Amino acid sequence: MSEDDLTPEGELTGEAAPSVGTVPVLAVVGRPNVGKSTLVNRIIGRREAVVQDIPGVTRDRVSYDAEWNGRAFTLVDTGGWDPDARGMAERIRAQAEIAVGLADAVLFVVDATIGITDADEAVVRVLRRADKKVVLVANKVDDERAEAQAFGLWNLGLGEPHMVSALHGRGSGDLLDAVLDVLPPAPEAGDAVIGGPRRIAIVGRPNVGKSSLLNKLAGEERSVVDNVAGTTVDPVDEIVDMGGKSWRFIDTAGIRKRVKEASGHEYYAWLRTSTAIERAEVCVLVLDGSESVAEQDMRILQEVREAGKALVIAFNKWDKVDAERRYFLDREIERDLVQVLWAPRINLTALTGWHIDRLVPALEKAIEGWETRITTGAFNAFLGRIVAEHPHPVRGGKQPRILFGSQVQSAPPTFKLFTSGQLDAGYLRFIERRLREEFGFVGTPIEMKVQAREKRKRT
Ligand code: GDP
Ligand code: GDP
């Protein structure tokens, strides 16, 4: 399917290994103010997970790409919820349940200067039941004096408390070594989980018909085993056979049973969506065809694009779409979905199963586009042609030239252009458009990186 035989000639060196396959997920849990987001920042080495001095401000972004000693993992910060709300202990417990449902391992953060609280103990009970690997973090151990206090955390019964100061970095290397010990190995770059079921995330806002679609695809009988005596943790994924192949649906538990969004916080739904996208190869964004495209739909689209995943858009509830609605829908597609016109679109009625058979071909097309690789030779010939037919506009008396280009990665396709100067955003969009015209790349975002030879401004 992918053009595996077209191996790139003259691959550039010094690039990060292509991230193929799914990387393990590490969830960070703990009470508010124990230093979760400070720790996340420390681990990802950026100031991306903004530390809020105002507690309770919901953070949008919850998944981050992290790496330690050459091993990649996804870090999920479960910190962004309202600690002032009533039933805090209940919330923390729910947060922990979701985290263990999503993650391969859990980083449980405790404030060593405060010690064990009731809320911490509630989390411990959840973690024990879940039988997930846990790395216990005694945070705010800024100096040796604080270590004495941290020893008390052995009493949690979760093994060694790893003493760190998220703020100053103390102990964080040892902590990450411990994390790598418990995470399952990520697939090696290159062995793109060939043969394993493709990973699909069905995403969309509430009530668009995600669970109806999943039920139709999986058959009502195949629902997950739930409520196994005392277990509150859901089996997360489900394997479904479609079109003669197995597919892995990510976090179906979250779709089937609005799990413990109990305290009604929309944040949990977002956490699940964001993590499911991160773990998937291809996302099916379900929209309600009978309603206008909503802000929330766009937000999910944005997340899929940023995560670099293949995408299929399914307009559901087509039974409710009449000629008039259809007219407006076409306008909305041009206006709101203009950034993702490359995504295959299908119209279906999950309720009756109408057109449901169109999903597999759409998924396959999107995955094929996502994994497409073009050779360095073909890419440079293409660049030569488009530059000849439509050169970059002259800026300040200079005309940036493209010296060389290469596709440095697939899944998603990522290109690097070496130039004599910065390129206009508009020109980059032009290159992307022409790339799609010539090579397909259906159903996938394309990333373009520019490396200018002159003094580097922003790339
Ligand atoms: P979260 O609510 O668990 O995400 O906690 P934050 O990361 O927002 O941190 C809460 C407060 O604790 C902030 O004022 C941080 O600066 C502070 N903090 C975090 N880590 C440390 C640490 O290692 N030592 C000290 N002294 N303070 C810390
Ligand atoms: P979810 O929240 O996205 O999982 O949505 P559900 O699958 O629970 O569906 C929400 C509501 O929409 C339910 O009442 C479904 O019966 C209804 N629904 C789902 N698919 C369709 C469809 O194709 N046509 C119509 N008319 N209703 C649908």
> In the chain, count of helices (H) and strands (E)?
13, 15
Q: Please tell me the residue having the least CA distance from ligand 2 atom 6.
A: 209
Tell me the CA–centroid distance for residue 312 and ligand 2, in Å.
18
Side-chain-side CA neighbours of residue 209 (13 Å): 27
Tell me the CA–centroid distance for residue 114 and ligand 1, in Å.
12
CA end-to-end span of the chain, whole Å?
32
Residues 6+ apart with CB under 8 A from 26: 66, 73, 74, 75, 76, 103, 104, 105, 106, 107, 179, 183
Residue identified by tokens 């509830």 is: 317
CATH of 376-452, one of 3.30.1490.20, 3.30.300.20, 3.30.70.3270, 2.60.120.620: 3.30.300.20
User: Is residue 273 in contact with ligand 2, taking CB distance under 6 Å?
Assistant: no
Residue 172 identity (one-letter amino acid):
S
Ligand that comes closest to the CA of residue 119: 1
User: Is residue 208 in contact with ligand 2, taking CB distance under 6 Å?
Assistant: yes
User: Is residue 446 in contact with ligand 2, taking CB distance under 6 Å?
Assistant: no
User: Is residue 33 in contact with ligand 1, taking CB distance under 6 Å?
Assistant: yes
Q: Domain 25-182 adopts which CATH fold? A: Rossmann fold (3.40.50)
User: Is residue 139 in contact with ligand 1, taking CB distance under 6 Å?
Assistant: yes
For Cα atoms 421, 424, 428, give the angle at the middle one, nearest 5 degrees. 105
Instruction: Enter the tokens of residue 435.
Output: 């790339």
Ligand that comes closest to the CA of residue 300: 2
How do the domains of the chain map onto residue ranges? 25-182, 194-370, 376-452
User: Is residue 138 in contact with ligand 1, taking CB distance under 6 Å?
Assistant: no
Ligand that comes closest to the CA of residue 29: 1
Please tell me if the domain spanning 194-370 has the same topology as the one spanning 376-452: no
**pLDDT tens for each residue of the chain, 459 residues long:** 333 332 233 232 223 333 334 678 888 988 888 998 899 889 887 554 444 434 434 444 467 778 888 888 888 877 654 444 556 666 677 677 767 777 889 999 999 999 998 888 888 988 888 878 999 999 999 998 889 889 999 999 999 999 999 999 999 999 999 999 999 876 554 444 445 789 999 999 989 999 999 989 987 544 444 433 333 334 578 888 888 888 989 888 777 765 544 445 577 778 888 888 988 999 999 999 999 999 999 999 999 999 999 999 999 999 999 999 999 999 999 999 999 999 999 999 999 999 999 999 999 999 999 999 998 888 988 999 999 999 999 988 888 888 888 888 899 999 988 888 889 999 999 999 999 999 999 999 999 988 887 554 454
* Dist. CA 309–CA 86, nearest whole Å: 37
Using the atom order of ligand 1, give the atom closest to the CA of residue 79: 4
* Dist. CA 136–CA 162, nearest whole Å: 6
CATH of 194-370, one of 3.40.50.300, 3.10.180.10, 3.10.20.10, 3.40.309.10: 3.40.50.300
